[in-house]
Amino acid sequence: MKEQVIASRGARRSATPQKGFVQRPARRDGSPAARARGLSPRALFAYVPRALKFGLAILIVVTLIVGYRVAASAALFQVQSIDVTGTSRTSVEEIVGLTRRATARTGVWRADLSAISSELSRLPGVRRAVVTRVLPDRLRVRVTERVPVAVVRTSEGHFVWVDDEGVMLGEMKPDDRMPPFFIRGWNEEGGEDARKENVERVQKYLELVHDWEAAGLSQRVSEVTLFDLRDVRVQLAGSDSQIEVRLHSKDPGPGLQIALQELDTYKETPHASSITYIDLQTGRVVFGFSSGSKSVSETPQAASENDVTPNRAAPDTGANEADATARSKSRQKESDTRKDSGPQTAVPALRFR
């Protein structure tokens, strides 16, 4: 028989490996290692007074601000170059000089780009300017220029370009492209009201250019007088430069065409060189002559219709035209120089809108 040996309980318990956490007793000997573990930075900061904490925070903020200013003003961020694009008539040197003055103290990093853009936009030929940083030491200026659309003859006789907002862009240069014709009658007083009036004049001018170029008439016009938009007057060009066409408030396209057709017909008469103005009145065209004309009454149509009447104005005696009395002072000054004190001849059989 085989003998069965039964092990004791103590032996079986020790043979089985123990699992889990084994708690060890803490050391209570007060050794230096234990004291060092208790002196952590967090534990020390807990003993610092609250006022001292607040002071340290302020000191850190001030240090950061001073450091930022010193870094921003360093030579690394001083403006070394300024790139300007989009200019054709505006002076690049003027834009660069103005930008450098604005950033002399601030450098590139602290430059007020919005203020610089606004200042550049106030230049006569600049409609809009956008300034951007190119770190560390460059600025880029992108310019949108004003586009000249017309030339104004000022009261002093200067020829100045203007854009569609009525802004003067500088005097016309000899090598500039000639406009179809000039504008006369500009409000030079300044201010918002004057600007609005001048914008209306430019818009009227652009309409006239469109209509007269489409009809092939613009080459016969030297300038258009727009003191009063309800009294449009045209000074002819070339051999007819002494003649003014008074369109008033009528449609200027057909009105000028009718006036020029009658003028071309009337040029065949002996006294055609004495014509000083053509007045488009209701249902008829009236010719005005200088005082030296002696053959006006010989015009067959005028004599048969008995339409020869005294002239309305006599500028050569110092009087202004009656219909120009309510105009601006500059218009009165113009009418003083006109020499059309002779009689009128009316052509009655014309109709126009």
C-alpha to C-alpha distances, 170 to 41, 120, 124, 340, nearest whole angstrom:
73, 17, 8, 34
Q: Determine how many CB atoms are found less than 10 A away from the CB of residue 130.
A: 15
Position of tokens 């430059």? 111
Q: What is the pLDDT of residue 70?
A: 58
How far apart (Å, rounded) are the C-alpha atoms in residues 216 and 129?
A: 39
How far apart (Å, rounded) are the C-alpha atoms in residues 198 and 203?
A: 9
Cβ–Cβ under 8 Å, residues 279 and 285: yes
DSSP-assigned states of every residue in 124-192: TTEEEEEEEEETTTEEEEEEEEPPP-EEEE-TTS-EEEE-TT--EEEEPPTTSPPPSSEEE----S-SH
Q: What is the pLDDT of residue 107?
A: 85
Tokens of 186: 């500009």
How far apart (Å, rounded) are the C-alpha atoms in residues 48 and 39?
A: 14
Cβ-based neighbours of 195, under 8 Å, separated by 6 or more: 165, 166
How far apart (Å, rounded) are the C-alpha atoms in residues 59 and 51?
A: 12
Q: What is the pLDDT of residue 97?
A: 92
Q: What is the pLDDT of residue 147?
A: 92
- Look at the pTM and tell me if it is higher than 0.75: no
DSSP-assigned states of every residue in 26-52: PP-S--HHHHHHH--HHHHHHTS-HHH
Q: What is the pLDDT of residue 295?
A: 35
Ordered per-residue pLDDT tens for the chain, 353 residues: 455 555 555 555 555 555 555 555 555 555 555 555 555 666 555 656 666 667 777 878 877 776 666 555 556 678 888 999 999 888 899 999 999 999 888 888 888 999 999 999 999 889 999 999 988 889 999 999 999 999 999 999 999 999 999 999 889 989 899 999 999 999 998 888 999 999 999 999 999 999 999 999 999 999 999 999 889 999 999 999 999 999 987 677 788 999 999 999 888 888 788 899 999 888 788 999 886 543 333 333 433 333 333 333 333 333 333 333 334 444 444 444 444 444 454 444 343 33
How far apart (Å, rounded) are the C-alpha atoms in residues 35 and 33?
A: 5
Q: What is the pLDDT of residue 105?
A: 84
Handedness of CA 304, 306, 312, 316 (dihedral sign): positive
Euclidean distance between the first and the last CA atom of the chain, given in angstroms as a whole number: 147
Q: What is the pLDDT of residue 2?
A: 52
H or E stretch covering 211: helix 192-214
How far apart (Å, rounded) are the C-alpha atoms in residues 246 and 6?
A: 141
Q: What is the pLDDT of residue 347?
A: 47
Domains of the chain: 75-145 (3.10.20.310), 150-347 (3.40.50.11690)
Cβ–Cβ under 8 Å, residues 344 and 311: yes
How far apart (Å, rounded) are the C-alpha atoms in residues 285 and 351?
A: 9
How far apart (Å, rounded) are the C-alpha atoms in residues 173 and 235?
A: 22
Q: What is the pLDDT of residue 93?
A: 93
Q: What is the pLDDT of residue 46?
A: 62
